[in-house]
Amino acid sequence: MSEQLAIHGGKRSVPESFVKPWPYVTTADQQAVMEVFKSDGIIEQQRIQSEGLAKEWAEYMGVKYCIPVNSGTAALHMSLTGVGIEPGDEVIVPAFTFWASAAAVLHHNAIPVFLDIDPETYCIDSDLIEAKISERTKAIMPVHIHGMPADMDAVLEIAKKHNLKVIEDVAQAHGARYKERLCGSMGDAAGYSTQASKTLSSGCQGGLFTTNDEIVYERASLLQYFGEIIVPGQEREDQKYNAYGLGWMYRGDMFSQAFIRSQLKRLDKNNSLRIRNCNFLTEHLSQIRGLKTPYVPNECEPVYYNYVVGFKPEEIDLNVSPRTLRDKVQKAMKAEGVSMGLWQRLPVPKQEVFQNRIGYGKGCPWKCHDSIIEYKKDDYPKTVEFIDSHSYIFDVNPPNDLELMGMYVEAFQKVMGNLDRLLK
Ligand SMILES: Cc1ncc(COP(=O)(O)O)c(C=O)c1O
């Protein structure tokens, strides 16, 4: 048996306060936000920051249109209306995601249809898509989960064959690439979150919508601002005050936009440092029997929003479930000072909102569109298996570097070397 575990009274592998939090705020970020405060025309800043961010993110993505908004969910909702989704339409969504992907579909009175995941990449299993396509299906929403690009060639091909739209959920994958193409640039529209924890962070809430299609852009713009047409560059007092359809208030705020613009200048650098940290973890953790490190398909360049670790008790002849091993190791790792934990607890369709078809109330959108879609609890075995056998390392972001990653590796070696005692 090696060194005593922190959970049993030994010394922590990661000293107290050693981990640096995300987002990492520089003097330049602080100045960018202060400039908004210091400006003579603080209201004017609303337009300046929004237009500046729209231009810079569209340039980064290599797309024609971007609209900064107040959340990733809003950006996905706008993507759905932008591509023409209407009440009662079905949209195919992976069962493993943050449920906001599906909430955006419900927000438009449309109906999410869930698919199980590819257990290697944790993204939508493209082999299952065609079986779920019905006359009502109008779109597929691949989610680039944990910074891992979904199987986009297959998704785009199926969409083309069945005349479906593709909306990319890029909440967790800013800067990730699939066959050298940026995630978010391949479908008909995309929604990105800039919520505090994300790889492009506002420090609070926020989101970005993008598309290459003028009509999609125009429809999304209507939804973003009360259903009104807002002419870019024109003052509010010169606008028409005429609603052309139902809209929401999804506009982002100027302070977080100034912060995002400053963070965007370091996105690629931050991504490359995070990738270096995660590659280091993979190199060393893959040597530890009983652990499973992320699989990266050749065509994918993930950005590791979080680092995902799997548990394989059978590999080390342990007669416990992956979940038991995971829970015990995770607890011991936390005591070692490693910020490890869980994310989703259930496949999205197993959540109450779908099991009880709560939605808008009175059974809508399902009842009001005579939907026959069912959310059977046993339909997503790979998602359940994934959730039960994996854990996350959260603090892999810069400025945390290889020194901290080295401590994580040592902590794993220590904990996995003490399993006899830990599992007693
Ligand atoms: C995969 C995924 N989709 C959508 C969202 C929604 O983004 P937001 O919280 O900015 O609305 C999130 C946010 O965590 C997410 O992780």
**Predicted local confidence at residue 423, as pLDDT:** 92
**Predicted local confidence at residue 102, as pLDDT:** 98
Query: Nearest C-alpha to atom 8 of ligand 1 is from which residue?
Result: 72
Model pLDDT for residues 343-384, shown as the tens digit of each residue: 999 999 999 999 999 888 899 999 999 999 999 989 999 999
How far, in Å, from the CA of 170 to the mean position of ligand 1?
Answer: 8
How far, in Å, from the CA of 95 to the mean position of ligand 1?
Answer: 14
Q: Which residue among 239, 266, 293 closes a domain?
A: 266
Q: Which residue among 266, 289, 315 closes a domain?
A: 266
DSSP state of 149: P
How far, in Å, from the CA of 288 to the mean position of ligand 1?
Answer: 33
**Predicted local confidence at residue 2, as pLDDT:** 58
The mean pLDDT of 66-79, rounded to a whole number, is 98
The mean pLDDT of 316-324, rounded to a whole number, is 97
Confidence of residue 272 (pLDDT cuts 50, 70, 90): very high
The answer to whether the bond into 23 is cis (omega within 30° of 0) is yes
How many domains does the chain contain in total? 2
Amino acid at 70: N
Question: Is 190 part of any domain?
Answer: yes
Distance spanning both ends of the chain, measured CA to CA = 14
How far, in Å, from the CA of 62 to the mean position of ligand 1?
Answer: 22
Q: Which residue among 244, 266, 288 closes a domain?
A: 266
Task: Give dist(CA 228, CA 246) in Å, integer.
Answer: 9
| Three-point CA angle 303, 309, 314, nearest 5° | 150
Pocket of ligand 1 (CB under 6 A): 71-73, 97-98, 100-101, 143, 169, 171-172, 193, 195, 207
Instruction: Based on the fold, state whether residues 281 and 152 are members of the same structural domain.
Output: no
How far, in Å, from the CA of 195 to the mean position of ligand 1?
Answer: 8
Give the position, in ligand 1's atom list, of the atom nearest the Cα of 191. 4
Instruction: Based on the fold, state whether residues 114 and 254 are members of the same structural domain.
Output: yes
Model pLDDT for residues 121-167, shown as the tens digit of each residue: 999 999 999 999 999 999 999 999 999 999 999 999 999 999 999 99
Confidence of residue 217 (pLDDT cuts 50, 70, 90): very high
What CATH number is associated with residue 155? 3.40.640.10
The mean pLDDT of 408-421, rounded to a whole number, is 97
The pair phi, psi for residue 376, each rounded to 5°, is -75, 135
**Predicted local confidence at residue 238, as pLDDT:** 81
Task: Give dist(CA 54, CA 68) in Å, integer.
Answer: 6
Give the position, in ligand 1's atom list, of the atom nearest the Cα of 75. 11
Give the position, in ligand 1's atom list, of the atom nearest the Cα of 305. 16
Please answer whether residues 347 and 388 qualify as being in contact, where contact means their C-beta atoms are separated by less than 8 angstroms.
no
Domain span at 391? 6-20+267-344+384-422
The mean pLDDT of 10-33, rounded to a whole number, is 97
